[in-house]
Structure 1
């Protein structure tokens, strides 16, 4: 197995390995997981694997999760089909961490390219550890104890009927996470706000708010600044897909953005999301 870093900040291509074999080989899987913790997202070309092998490899990391809107492949629970061929609208073209709206967001994911356009349709991943580390010190201090709400209703629910949107919000009520979480395996500090974040939960304190304008728009301006950190190119890696490619990423320490620049060409991806823990 060969590992070639792609950028100084994030991402590496892994060569001379078959993920079907890695799903059955404990030592090989351990090497891949170690590389994942270091590089945060790994890329594999020419992976001729079955859906069963895809699910089996992802399951080595932990239990797989379903999605309340997209659903799973009937024969392979936990394998979500993200097929874009008949609708230009996309939920993926914003910087986000998968399932931030869950009490226990995804630990990571294994994404396989089935079909992609000749040009366009790239995906960007962002190192949110570095996004936190390079914040001005006064901002780090200000957000150290902040918590923020995240919701699925204002994203996936926005295109639903009012009744369906409200039911989605009731079935999956807003959750609260630390703005700065600690990686449970590496101990790294991570800036943990993104596309599903709606507002701070505990910003309005005497230290932060003297007048109403300090809270609104003051809190919103700070949140927008923090969310915008994901757009800094020095923290990113960008991958141009080919059929048979697989990306594996640590969803705790990264965000990603799937470019929606390929319409009307089709783009078909299959993703196995891995259940995570409650952020601390």
Structure 2
């Protein structure tokens, strides 16, 4: 059972509720578009309790990203919670905890100078043929100031596009690359080897959420170009394709920058975010160097896009 605060007192009818113990979870929406903080809930317990986990999953579909404070859980419980969603995946560039494969360490400290920080609106690992379903991210150490993360509702971003733009992009597909992102700072031979392991993936520009049926704008910082734009319907002259196609792609990528689609979270030690990677993008704000920010993320294997 949960109760929604700071707004309607009733959960939406299409999201069933469950009673967990004697008290309902407090659900505090953080914006009208995306995100809710959940209180009076233990994620350590949710890693073992199927009923509690089922409620969290339903709330995730509704709010797209869930936030929690003061979660005292072990790495094993972190992994167990994420594995309730599905199998975990490693990352070819970021390192994992040696005892818990799939628990990726995202540690930024004095050995990570500002110019090596990555900060862009992105949907995790869309350079995979099957991008992750979602992630469970825990803050191990937070800087004294800065280091927030922003999430964006990309279903709302698509819904608010002008109708003629929706019509124009409905059948488009685009290429996503790890070589052009993580690989860009590598020596050529290392970058080419990374591309061999992970060839560029192709996804629809507008994907359908496999559980909610929502239409989602699915281009981000990993997207390099459209793959089926150069047709007689779209291109009269070379200008229409380049830079015309690139300008359209950049316009779509910039929709994630709109504040009305966003929620911003201030990290504290043992705070946790769980997000649906299929319908959101996020941006790790790199405004805290030389402060230290240590995060651990369990990414959940997803399915191919359609």
Q: Is TM (by shorter chain) over 0.5?
A: yes
With normalisation by structure 1, the TM-score equals 0.99
Does structure 1 residue 67 correspond to structure 2 residue 91?
yes
Q: Which residue number in structure 1 is paired with residue 223 of structure 2?
A: 197
Segment of structure 1 superposing worse, 112-121 or 91-100: 91-100
Aligned residue for 2:62, secondary structure, equals: helix
Aligned residues: 280
What RMSD over aligned residues (CA atoms) do the two structures have, in Å?
0.7
Give the 5 Å matches for 1:152-163: 152-163=178-189
Q: Which residue number in structure 2 is paired with residue 210 of structure 1?
A: 236
Give the superposition deviation at 1:92. 4.1
Q: Is the 8 A contact 2:117 2:286 kept in 1?
A: no
Determine the C-alpha separation between the residues in 2 that align with 1:91 and 1:153: 17
Q: Which residue number in structure 2 is paired with residue 147 of structure 1?
A: 173
Aligned residue for 2:100, secondary structure, equals: coil
Give the superposition deviation at 1:89. 3.7
Aligned residue for 2:232, secondary structure, equals: coil
Determine the C-alpha separation between the residues in 2 that align with 1:104 and 1:90: 27
Gaps of 5+ in 2: 1-24
Q: Which residue number in structure 1 is paired with residue 130 of structure 2?
A: 104
Alpha carbons of structure 1 residues 6 and 90: separation in structure 2 relative to 1, 3 Å: farther
Give the 5 Å matches for 1:164-183: 164-183=190-209
Which of the pair has more CA radius of gyration? 2
Give the superposition deviation at 1:170. 1.2
Q: Which residue number in structure 2 is paired with residue 26 of structure 1?
A: 50
Determine the C-alpha separation between the residues in 1 that align with 2:203 and 2:116: 25
Return the structure number with greater relative CO, CA threshold 8 A, min gap 6.
1
With normalisation by structure 2, the TM-score equals 0.91
Determine the C-alpha separation between the residues in 2 that align with 1:89 and 1:168: 22
Give the superposition deviation at 1:160. 1.0
Listed one character per residue, the Cα deviations across residues 130-174 of structure 1 (whole Å, up to 9, x for unaligned) are: 000000000000000000000001111111111101111111110
Q: Which residue number in structure 2 is paired with residue 47 of structure 1?
A: 71
Determine the C-alpha separation between the residues in 1 that align with 2:238 and 2:252: 21
Runs of 4+ in 1 over 4 A off after TM superposition: none
Q: Which residue number in structure 2 is paired with residue 6 of structure 1?
A: 30
Gaps of 5+ in 1: none
